[in-house]
C-alpha cells in the first residue's frame, strides 16, 4: 500500500531538450514501451487481468463445469447469510486486534533498545531480524512444538511460574488464536524494527542535546522528541501492519489450518477453500471483493486520521 515518496520527476529523456519534434517523441514512446514490454506482458496477463476479472466474477455464478452466468448480488446474499463467513471475518479481526498493536509495540521497543552505539549491537539486530527471513513452515512447526500443551517448554515455563492450568494453545479453540498471534508477532517484529531504526536515524542528535541542556529526562525526551519525529514511520508501519493482518493466510494454513474446528479460520483461507479447493469461482470472488473493500476502507480511514493529526 504505502509508497515511498519519490523525488519529483525531473525532465528525463532527450525529448526534454530544445529540439523536440513529433517524430522524436514517437520514437521515445516506442523505446520506452520496448523497455517495459517484457515485464508488462507478464504483469498484465497474470496480475492486471485477474484483478479486473475478480470484480466481474463476484457477480457471476461459475464453477469448473457450468458456463458462467450473471447472478447480480446472489453471491453476496449467500455470503451474508452464511455463518462461516462471519466466523472468518471475526477471526480475521481478532487476529488484527492482537497482531497490530503487539507487533507495533515490540518492534518499536526493539528499535529503541537497539538504536545505540554498543559493541555487538549489530549481532543483536541480526538476531531480531532473522525470524522474518526464516521459512514459515519451519517457524510454524517449531512453535507448534513449543506450544505443546502437556510437554512443551512454554507450558513448562508457565507451570514453573505457578500457573496451575496452562492453556492448551493450538489444541484449544480459545487459545489457538493467541498462539498464532504470538508466533506472528515474534516473526514480524524484526521487519518493522528495521523501518523504525531507519526512522530513528533521521532524528537529528541536536534535538536530544538541546533537550538535555533544558533538563529533560529520558522519558520526556522520548515523549516530546522521539515519538513526534517518528510519526511518519509509525504511520507507515501501522498501515502495513493492518493491511498485512487482513491478508494473513500462510501462517494460519501451516500452523492450525483454521482449526480446531473453525477457531482460526480467516478470510483468505475461506477464499482459498471456496474458490480453489471447491471450485466456486464466483462465490469466492465475492468474498475476495469484500476483503479488498475492507482493506481499502481501513487504509483510507487511517490516512484521513493521519492527515487530521498532522494539522
Cβ distance to other proteins smaller for residue 227 or 276: 276
Which residues ranging from 2 to 31 are in contact with other proteins (CB under 8 A)? 2-7, 9-16, 25, 28-29, 31
DSSP-based three-state secondary structure for 61: strand
Give the integer Cα–Cα distance in Å for 6 and 13: 18
Q: How far is the CB of 96 from other proteins (least distance, A)?
A: 13
Cβ distance to other proteins smaller for residue 96 or 190: 190
Q: How far is the CB of 81 from other proteins (least distance, A)?
A: 21
Which residues ranging from 216 to 255 are in contact with other proteins (CB under 8 A)? 232-233, 235-236, 239-240, 243-244, 246-247, 249-250, 253-254
In 3D, which of 47, 6, 3 has the Cα closest to residue 243?
3
Which cell is 258 given? Answer: 483454521
Q: How far is the CB of 248 from other proteins (least distance, A)?
A: 10
Cβ distance to other proteins smaller for residue 118 or 161: 118
Q: How far is the CB of 156 from other proteins (least distance, A)?
A: 6
Which residues ranging from 158 to 187 are in contact with other proteins (CB under 8 A)? 186
Q: How far is the CB of 102 from other proteins (least distance, A)?
A: 14
- Stated as kind and residue range, the H or E segment containing 164 is none
Q: How far is the CB of 56 from other proteins (least distance, A)?
A: 9
Is residue 50 a contact point for other proteins (CB under 8 A)? Answer: yes
Cβ distance to other proteins smaller for residue 44 or 73: 44
DSSP-based three-state secondary structure for 69: strand
DSSP-based three-state secondary structure for 19: coil
Give the integer Cα–Cα distance in Å for 143 and 146: 5
**Interface stretch with other proteins, choices 49-57, 70-78, 79-87, 170-178 (CB under 8 A):** 49-57
Q: Could you tell me if residue 60 is left (phi over 0), alpha (psi between -120 and 50 degrees) or otherwise beta?
A: beta
Contact between 110 and 190 under an 8 Å Cβ cutoff? The reply is: yes
Which cell is 266 given? Answer: 480467516
Q: How far is the CB of 135 from other proteins (least distance, A)?
A: 4
Which residues ranging from 96 to 155 are in contact with other proteins (CB under 8 A)? 110, 112-118, 121-131, 133-139, 141-143, 145-146, 148, 150-153
List the beta bridge partners of residue 70. 60
Q: What are φ and ψ of residue 69, in 5° steps?
A: -140, 135
How many residues bind to other proteins according to rule CB under 8 A? 124
DSSP-based three-state secondary structure for 158: helix
Which residues ranging from 251 to 280 are in contact with other proteins (CB under 8 A)? 253-254, 267-268, 271-272, 275-276
Residue 74: how many other CB atoms lie within 10 Å: 16
Q: State how far Cα 87 lies from the chain centre.
A: 21
Amino acid at each position: 500500500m504505502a509508497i515511498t515518496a519519490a523525488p519529483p520527476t525531473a525532465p528525463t529523456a532527450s525529448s526534454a531538450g530544445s529540439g523536440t519534434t513529433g517524430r522524436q517523441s514517437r520514437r521515445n514512446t516506442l523505446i520506452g514501451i520496448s523497455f517495459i514490454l517484457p515485464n508488462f506482458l507478464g504483469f498484465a496477463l497474470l496480475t492486471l487481468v485477474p484483478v479486473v476479472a475478480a470484480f466481474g466474477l463476484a457477480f457471476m455464478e461459475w464453477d469448473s463445469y457450468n458456463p458462467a452466468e450473471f447472478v447480480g448480488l446472489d453471491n453476496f446474499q449467500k455470503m451474508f447469510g452464511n455463518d462461516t463467513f462471519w466466523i472468518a471475518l471475526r477471526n480475521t479481526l481478532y487476529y488484527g486486534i492482537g497482531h497490530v498493536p503487539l507487533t507495533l509495540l515490540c518492534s518499536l521497543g526493539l528499535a529503541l533498545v537497539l538504536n545505540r552505539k554498543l559493541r555487538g549491537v549489530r549481532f543483536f539486530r541480526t538476531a531480531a531480524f532473522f525470524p522474518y527471513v526464516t521459512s514459515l513452515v519451519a517457524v510454524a512447526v517449531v512453535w507448534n512444538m513449543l506450544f505443546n500443551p502437556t510437554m512443551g517448554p512454554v507450558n513448562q515455563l508457565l507451570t514453573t511460574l505457578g500457573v496451575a492450568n496452562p492453556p492448551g494453545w493450538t489444541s484449544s479453540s480459545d487459545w489457538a488464536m493467541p498462539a498464532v498471534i504470538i508466533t506472528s508477532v515474534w516473526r514480524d517484529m524484526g521487519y518493522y524494527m528495521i523501518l523504525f531504526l531507519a526512522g530513528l536515524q533521521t532524528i537529528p542528535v541536536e534535538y536530544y542535546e538541546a533537550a538535555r541542556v533544558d533538563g529533560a529526562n529520558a522519558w520526556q525526551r522520548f515523549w516530546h522528541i522521539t515519538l513526534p519525529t517518528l510519526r511518519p514511520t509509525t504511520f507507515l508501519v501501522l498501515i502495513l501492519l493492518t493491511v498485512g493482518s487482513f491478508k494473513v493466510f500462510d501462517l494460519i494454513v501451516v500452523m492450525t489450518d483454521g482449526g480446531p474446528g473453525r477457531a482460526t479460520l480467516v478470510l483468505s483461507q475461506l477464499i482459498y477453500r471456496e474458490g480453489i479447493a471447491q471450485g466456486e469461482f464466483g462465490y469466492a470472488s465475492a468474498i475476495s471483493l469484500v476483503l479488498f473493500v475492507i482493506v481499502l476502507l481501513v487504509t483510507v480511514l487511517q490516512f484521513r486520521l493521519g492527515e487530521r493529526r498532522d494539522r
